[in-house]
């Protein structure tokens, strides 16, 4: 059965930590085990926006590990470039604006990607 968390993982072409998805869903009072069809499109879109903001704040690249008895492999991704971070915030802002969540819209800054208290 296809869960909302599966959908969110599928929206990106690199691994997203399960804890990040759980945190985004908890922030919206949604259970990570909810099925895709049980969550409205608006909520799926807003979850995606929340993840985009979380990823834009991420200071690390990504790591994917796999292993067996005979080998272990770790794949590291590059840091997310600033241009991609800005694109993530723009897309999240578009989604927030579409659904009237103006208080979640983030100002863009190359130096400070965290909002100040006035914009929260």
Q: Tell me: the pLDDT tens digits for 4-51? A: 999 998 888 777 888 899 999 999 999 989 999 999 999 999 999 999
Digit-coded pLDDT (tens) for 61-77 = 555 666 667 666 665 55
| Domain that residue 96 falls in | 4-119
Separation of alpha carbons 1 and 65, rounded Å: 25
Domain count, the chain: 1
Separation of alpha carbons 96 and 102, rounded Å: 6
Separation of alpha carbons 53 and 35, rounded Å: 23
Is 81's pLDDT higher than 90? no
- What is the pTM assigned to this prediction? 0.73
């Amino acid at each position: 059965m296809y869960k909302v968390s599966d959908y969110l993982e599928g929206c990106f072409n690199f691994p997203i930590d399960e804890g990040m998805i759980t945190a985004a869903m908890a922030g919206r009072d949604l259970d990570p085990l909810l099925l895709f069809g049980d969550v409205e499109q608006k909520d799926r879109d807003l979850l995606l926006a929340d993840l985009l903001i979380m990823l834009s704040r991420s200071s690390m690249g990504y790591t994917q590990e796999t292993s067996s008895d005979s080998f272990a492999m770790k794949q590291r991704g590059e840091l997310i470039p600033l241009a991609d971070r800005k694109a993530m915030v723009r897309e999240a802002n578009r989604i927030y604006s579409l659904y009237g969540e103006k208080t979640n819209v983030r100002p863009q800054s190359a130096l400070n990607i965290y909002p100040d208290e006035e914009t929260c």
